């Protein structure tokens, strides 16, 4: 099975409240595993929500960390 290609929109235009790990990692220019480690250790700049066992990264926090106007 081929890997999914991510086609994220700019954070300034994002309408969802949270993003899945692959899209959040893309915007932060970090590996997905880095975000998973932040979640596990609780030491990253953003804390994810857990929805049905999956990580959901708040768009407002991503914008804050990256300095994107809300």
pLDDT, tens digit, 9 for 90 and up, residues 15-38: 999 999 999 999 999 999 999 999
Q: pTM (2 decimals)? A: 0.86
pLDDT range class, residue 69, cuts 50, 70, 90:
confident
Spatial contact of 37 and 47, defined as CB atoms under 8 Å apart: no
What's the rounded mean pLDDT across residues 3-24?
Answer: 88
Mean pLDDT of 30-58: 97
Q: Is the Cβ–Cβ distance between 55 and 36 less than 8 Å?
A: yes
Selected residue with higher pLDDT from 45 and 9: 45
């Amino acid at each position: 099975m081929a890997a999914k290609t991510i086609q994220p929109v700019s954070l300034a235009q994002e309408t969802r409240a949270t993003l899945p790990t692959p899209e959040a990692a893309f915007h932060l220019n970090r590996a997905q595993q880095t975000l998973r480690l932040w979640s596990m250790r609780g030491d990253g700049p953003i804390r994810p929500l857990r929805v049905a066992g999956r990580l959901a990264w708040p768009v407002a926090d991503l914008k804050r960390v990256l300095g994107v106007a809300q």
